[in-house]
Structure 1
């Protein structure tokens, strides 16, 4: 929580609070008196599973029978229990359906077990609990443990820390995505208790608001009714004790996380629509057959028999082949050595990776490493980079050199050199003092950490010191001052100490500190030097805030622009010397303003601004936020592939804008429109009109302004934003991130992908059509809800361009070929029935129908999952190939119609050819047509393969060998004497050639005169 107001009250206040709690369903937690706490805490566990033990089977069946294909075959299979509707053996209908359901359940069970194991790992983490009260938890959260990313799995209020001041550093990356350490202070009343045991007998309570979605604020009161004495005393070192307010589903993290859902790929929906079209064609064909009979006799029964007879026009093997293909794609992704560590966590939507239009990405830990490096110091007349740090170090050393009275004074240095040296000294000193950084020391003896040098026995050695701060920028600046000789060695709430190059420790007392806020865009500190008593006001901040505060200069604006173009985050540093009288006057006015009841914030701000006038400009600093490896080329690759990239971050506007520039999310030639902060409908309307007048402009908007725009102008805003080459949303809550995903899906009907690495990204990942997590950064919570996990952002390029593209094209080809396999045999059935007086008698019965879709053609058809039109290197070199996939041309009604025509042509040739060439026995028709059908399917697979794989060749010959070998056992269906004659061989060969040769000629001519884009590259 960000805000907590400790209060002291009386019994009347308690009564009022209890009434208010009852009305608002808020929470009152008593300390030391657990029997007074009426509220029951929810189970403190996270759950990413979709089902439980009892809902798994019905849930999976419901999800599967939502598809028209499966529901249709269930009805057809059930119809075979009716004697008058029975067409063939029961196993020919129930065995394929049962196999499909079994494969689906096994796949879902494997995914569900994996989710359960990941959830169990997170929920099994142990924490110590104080047994004196069920609401008090003792977390052994030593500073180094926090650095090791151990999470506090609840919303709690700090009551006491091992630090005398009650301070503690926390990270909120699972809430807002910020990995910076934030300084929090325990409740003053409990921190000052004489003994730890007093917590167990204190008569106090915490009133907390009901669980809220807002992650940036918390309203609550801490009330202590009377004093008490405890005789228990415990000695604990490096601990934080807190009272837990919210657990489980009531925590901010879970409230901002959507429930897991079943994601259905666009390809599955498209195939579902095609099966409905096939069903309509099947019904029409059955009606035509009954009509040609003249609607005589029990025509309605005959109609249903024809529907069952033509049921193979919708192949049930479609689901099996597609599901097995998805598993194969996942296996290929995880075995790709070019993207090591990639994990496929959901095996249902790999094709979605090939249809993406919008990529929504987090910033911290995803695009950046959140590691700042000092790059530039500019003094106006001279600039210092990383290659000139030795010169600065020399100046600092001279400034703090110990006097040598025994030696004769050296000749005075040139005036210009003395001026530069003085300016460098003042700039470095200001950077070393103006911050909120605290040094932390690790004890060499037991590995524990201490936040003060005093507790570390004044051990100022560099090898056991680290820094903690609310901003990585400040840590980078303090580390830089350390590298040039001025080291921060100690800090508490009232003072800080610097060590000079000569080893001298200087003490400065903190009189006032003004933290950085998103509104002020600056921070300040007033310090008093111990030796001289001089009082100095230091301030640093963004150039837009500091430009009007510092004295006139002619270089600040130009240099800020230069550094920004280099992708550096700039800070302007200034100072102002104060006399004792000036500070006393300021302190009186400042304290009086803080005691104001009305407009307190405005009055305090006005008093501080009275100091912020004509400040001396010291320097301009440039810090670089280290990007993840190959972020720039990866973003360029995605843009060239037609993917629009939106960055959604909880970070500040300036930081987000800087990263958008440095990562080349926004190209240097593009303008950036920073959406002005709006709070009502009128302001939003004016700002939208201003934005509408700009073209080819990237958009930067804050979460508050976004909320106002979506409340009043949702459609207009989304329409304008979707036209932008890039969009940056800063200060976004987890709920807002998910809301943006829903809006894009609703208004654009395009496929979305979300990538993040923290708990604050879970809602966004779950809301997107495809969720990816980079699990190398902020923890495991996001990976529990993701569909895919990658170790580095750069891997997303190959994941989409190669595996996503291949998965979509392969599944599209596989789905259409499986439907072709069903349509061709249904065409043959229709020709057979029409010739033989429209009789509803099956052409092939029993094992022939089962063997046709399994043993004889399954392996060659399934081998299409290994096909590829271009090599992976070519797909990465020409990302424009990916752009074609977003239009859905690989699987459309046009391509489907082409396959329908092919099926009708080949089915007609096979059936009419067999009828023309058959001998005296009808069984010869079955033998000729069925053998030609098998050979035609094997040849069609070969004609559609673009890149041969040795497994494809094996599948072709294995299937052909299985069919030839099985002829010896098919005497129930074939005349074994006839199939060994030359007449059988030449008749089958002629029919097969006539059915396939024209298609090969057409394909050759089309490839020659109108080749597809991929064939131009592969040639």
Structure 2
């Protein structure tokens, strides 16, 4: 359960939280409800309208529609303008309402979870069911300090995958003072408080103190990240009681929740520019019309009437068609059985997948499996691989062999062999002790997990034991020590037990533990052996951090490089023996530093560093992170598609280089230029000059050198790096990953994509034009923050080559055809007004205009989202087809100009043809031209389709049937007696053939003499 108390809080300031004394509290904490909704009941409509009318297209049509309320500007019926605008707004509002309802339901589900608030009455404790009850597998509702647990060890596990993206369980420790209280009710009788620092963004650190004032002497206990239970994490074992310190907007999860920017696709920007060009053409055309009138009379009013009259040149249905198309593409992606589990989280940019030039990828968990396997143990003079593990097991067995008194003494082993055996024993023992791993046993009876075998009333059997740790590297090391005979069987806050090959259980008391941090790059532990009382300080970490700590040696640097070239992740293990006096002195200084309120981290670090001197180097370990399935062919596919791949990783240079080679990120025929480590401007200048002389080679650079180059030579470096077929950035921080994305977007006009699987990849994913998350070993944080989520790296090939390519080409065709549909009718209006003395009179009125852009042509035009030039298998077989898309030729000013010329030609033929074949009444001209217009649009859709789908055929015949059926009800616009005559039929047929046949001939000749690349493959 969770125990909550009133707290004294001031926003974003340090606070004091009293236990059991609400009368000392002056203020209430912020409301703890989760709210992800954008609007409420009153702000929904105005909020949505404001967001929509920020766009030029919608605002333009709103002005045009509003102008129809002015009698002198009114042209036709009001619904001619308000119906399309209302339809667009209705579709938008329905979509927003659906999303808002989903957000509301998710928020309601989270906010309706039942908890209990533990309060005190003179006679009993009250459990209020509508407050905070927290049991195993429940979400923690607020940031809390861990006071008490049902676990006898005084600790519990929590899952943090929804907070930091890591799936490994985290061990949390209860406050010692409150955990040792005899009864739960004593929490209300003591006079104690928690001092907590002001709310911070950092989820991996916390500084606070616990003070009990009613004791003699007063009890002061330092609080760290190990005593915290952050909101949105899950209790994985036992039940917990905590005191709330931060709620609502002050919690770590909310502070770290940033609303990602609304990404706008390049296609949308290009269409927006074309829309503005159409508006300019509309204004120019209107001015020409007024000028040909001679600027007589109220010419300014006539100018505005012409602008309204030609308003269909800018299609209001463009945005709706594109949005519906994007939703269809997203549905197709998620329904593709070849990439199961793919989720489209952002439906506004699927076409961006078809125009990528740069792919920035994480390494661990993305290109590799993040499943560590122990591969190498190096002792300086001798190295052990997987094929010599039996020898290590033999040495460990001899070290812990039970004495056999009756057995005759063996001959003394050679001195060298005893030395090696002793060193192996010390190395394996250090690896088995220096970690933060906890064995977890699965109960056979009810499936519940227990952190110790004793609590589950089980023996230390291997068949139901698993290991939990914050790092897969540590689990791999502990599993390896188990395989060679030294098994971690139990661990709690104060001790851990190892089982020897002989079955003996050895106990070691944990005196201090120093967790791994990204700054220190190492972790340590001080233990006391139960039998001898010896105190030993063990430490392991990255070679860059440990090289200056261990005693002088002549092999560490060389062997670290050798292992890294094999693709292994290395850790240096060392130890230092401490006397009782040395440890007592350290403990006093360490506890004093932990109670500091100001600069606690620096003071604690300084005390720990006083021990980290002249440590004895024990061994060097190497673990392997295996490649993901089909990484090599996928990277080769992307490279052949013209995509430049940059690998951004925190691993060392040698490991990153090895993975780049083994994964074929760098092709076998390419050279690799390793950028020398630089620390100042002069060195960076020399190294850039050396790099400039290289041609067609991959670049490998460290984060430190990258920072120096960007500080002094940003433009030059990015220019050179962008010419490389592949770039590897090692020792790269999450901030640097995002910075690299921004640099590419700033210095190039190409689209970028970032892919990763961990919380440290989120900033990079959100900064890229297109972000892809992998739901992997490190949790869902990257997946949830991304625009697209996949389950394996290999799926990115089909996602880009097939769905990305189709989405871009389909959206380009759809957008241009919708604009053609507006330009052709505007051309007809211009021809009509020119012939009839430049009168601002509409050619088609009322339902004809509404029906033209909806039921008569909408379905065939929208069916273009099903079109494809080549089959998916062909697109994957020939990735070179993807390279053409990056040039943007499917939608450009050239293609737009071609569609303008087509619209002018067809609009002129339709209007002039109807006037040349003029009948006795004007209504006949309307009937002939409008019918020919509908048939022309249907034929033009058929002309542009490359692969027919049965839904396309259905859309064509359905639209034609709707038009024919509606003729019976359009007495106001058509003479039913005339449209049933042969004259009507042959005139409509002639005009339609003249408007379409030349385009068919031109298309045939073009495909004959200059066929597109895809037509060669499909044939």
- Alignment CA distance shift 1:855-1:931 (3 Å): same
Deviation of residue 291 (structure 1)? 1.4
- Partner deviation per Cα, 1:725-770 (whole Å, 9 max, x = no partner): 7778899998887777667656656555555667777676666554
What's the CA shift for 1:878?
Answer: 3.8
What do the CA deviations read for 1:934-974 (whole angstroms, capped 9, x no partner)?
23222221221122212222222333344444445555444
Measured after TM superposition, the shift of residue 231 of structure 1 is: 31
Residues 376, 383 of structure 1: 8 Å contact kept: yes
Cα RMSD (Å): 6.0
Q: Write the deviation string for residues 280-331 of structure 1: whole angstroms up to 9, x where unpaired.
A: 2112111211211222233233222222222221122223322322222222
- Over 3 Å counting, the alpha-carbon distance change for 1:131 and 1:19 in structure 2 is closer
| Separation in structure 2 between the aligned mates of residue 546 and residue 241 of structure 1, nearest angstrom | 39
| Further displaced range: 393-402 or 127-136 | 127-136
CA distance in 1, matches of 2:378, 2:130: 39
Alignment partner, residue 970 of structure 2: 970
Contact 1:540–1:546 (8 Å) recurs in 2: yes
Moved more, 382-391 or 336-345: 382-391
Correspondence for 1:331: 331
Secondary structure, aligned partner of 2:321: helix
Bigger drift between 26-35 and 76-85 goes to 76-85
CA contact 2:145–2:229 (8 Å) conserved in 1: no
Question: In 2, are the aligned partners of 1:860 and 1:956 still within 8 Å (CA)?
Answer: yes
Once the two structures are TM-superposed, the CA of residue 499 in structure 1 deviates from its matched residue by 1.4
Q: Partners in 1 of 2:796 and 2:134 — Cα distance?
A: 30
Distance 1:975 1:232 in 2: 69
Against the structure 1 CA distance between its residues 795 and 143, is the aligned structure 2 distance closer, same or farther, given a 3 Å change threshold?
farther
CA deviations on 1:458-513 (whole Å, 9 max, x unpaired) are 72112333323343212211111112222112334554332122212234455666
Distance in 1 between residues matched to 2:602 and 2:790, nearest whole Å: 47
Which residue does the alignment assign to 1:647?
Answer: 647
Per-residue CA deviations over 1:126-165 (Å, capped at 9, x if unaligned) read 4443224999999999999999975434322223345666
State how far apart, in whole Å, the 2-side matches of 1:18 and 1:241 are.
14
1:874–1:984 CA distance, 2 compared to 1 (3 A):
same
Q: 881-890 or 330-339: which moved more? A: 881-890
- Give the alignment's TM-score, normalised by structure 2: 0.82
Secondary structure at 1:22 match in 2: coil
Instruction: Classify the secondary structure of the residue corresponding to 1:21.
Output: coil
Task: Note closer, same or farther for the CA distance 1:565–1:148 as it changes in structure 2 (3 Å cut).
Answer: farther
Maintained 8 Å contact 1:135/1:243: no
Which moved further from structure 2: 462-471 or 177-186? 177-186
Aligned mates of 1:480, 1:138 — CA distance in 2:
50
Shift of 1:794: 3.6
CA distance in 1, matches of 2:99, 2:727: 34
Shift of 1:988: 3.6
Distance in 1 (CA, whole Å) between partners of 2:127 and 2:732 is 30
In structure 2, do the counterparts of structure 1 residues 683 and 211 end up closer, same or farther at CA, with 3 Å as the change threshold? farther
Which is worse superposed, 769-778 or 700-709? 700-709
- Deviation by residue 1:655-709 (Cα, 9 ceiling, x = unmatched): 9899878766678999999999999999999999999999989899999999999
Say whether 1:721 aligns with 2:743.
no
What displacement does 1:900 show? 0.7
Instruction: Single out whichever of 776-785 and 993-1002 deviates more from structure 2.
Output: 776-785
SS at match of 2:708: helix
Counterpart CA distance in 2 for 1:243 and 1:177 is: 25
Q: Provide closer, same or farther for how the CA distance between residues 340 and 599 of structure 1 changes in structure 2, counting only shifts above 3 A.
A: closer
Preserved CA contact (<8 Å) 1:118 1:784:
no
Assess, with a 3 A threshold, how the Cα gap between structure 1 residues 680 and 143 changes in structure 2: closer, same or farther: farther
CA distance 1:403–1:16, shift in 2 (3 Å): closer
Shift of 1:263: 4.5
Q: CA deviation at 1:609?
A: 7.8
* Superimposed CA distance per residue, residues 16-62 of structure 1 (whole angstroms, 9 cap, x where no aligned partner): 99999989843222222123223332222333333222222112212
Residues 1:468 and 1:955: Cα distance change in structure 2 (over 3 Å):
closer
Q: How does 1:716-865 map to 2 (within 5 A)?
A: 751-753=751-753, 769-775=769-775, 787-865=787-865
1:865 positional shift: 0.6
Match of 1:109 among 61, 86, 97: 97
Structure 1 pair 955/214, CA: closer, same or farther in 2 (3 Å)?
A: same
Preserved CA contact (<8 Å) 2:569 2:623: yes
Task: State how far apart, in whole Å, the 2-side matches of 1:608 and 1:206 are.
Answer: 25
Larger mean CA deviation between 327-336 and 662-671 belongs to 662-671
Q: 1:373 to 1:981 in 2, by over 3 A?
A: same
Moved more, 148-157 or 43-52: 148-157
* Closer, same or farther: CA 327–509 of 1 in aligned 2, 3 Å: closer
Tell which deviates more after alignment, 337-346 or 478-487.
337-346
Residue range with higher mean Cα deviation, 272-281 or 964-973: 964-973
Q: Which moved more, 1:160-169 or 1:33-42?
A: 160-169
Residue 684 of structure 1 is matched in structure 2 by 684
Q: Any conservation in 2 of the 1:936–1:995 contact (CA below 8 Å)?
A: yes
Would you say the 8 A contact 1:128–1:137 is kept in 2?
Answer: no
Query: Which piece of structure 1 moves more, 945-954 or 484-493?
Result: 484-493
- Greater CA deviation, 566-575 or 681-690? 681-690
493 and 900 in structure 1: CA distance in 2 versus 1, 3 angstrom threshold? same
Name stretches of at least 5 consecutive residues in structure 2 with no aligned partner: 213-227
Aligned to 1:526: 526
Which residue in 1 is equivalent to 2:175?
187
Distance 1:54 1:29 in 2: 37
Indicate if the aligned counterparts of 1:353 and 1:803 stay in contact, CA closer than 8 A: yes
**TM-superposed deviation, 1:279:** 1.7
Q: Residue 443 of structure 1 contacts residue 456 of structure 1 at CA under 8 Å; is this kept in 2?
A: yes
**Does the 8 Å CA contact 1:201/1:229 hold for their aligned counterparts?**
no
Structure-2 residue corresponding to 1:593: 593
Q: Matched residues in 1 for 2:99 and 2:310: separation?
A: 35
Question: What is the number of residues matched between the two proteins?
Answer: 1003
1:623-682 deviations in Å (ceiling 9; x for gaps): 123555445554554455455666778999999899878766678999999999999999
Q: What are the superposed Cα offsets for residues 747-797 of structure 1, whole Å, 9 maximum, x if unpaired? A: 656555555667777676666554544456666677666544434444333
Alpha-carbon distance in 1 for matches of 2:410, 2:971 = 116
Structure 1 length normalisation: TM-score?
0.82
Name the SS for the 1:777 alignment partner.
coil
Structure 1 distance, partners of 2:1012, 2:715, is 37
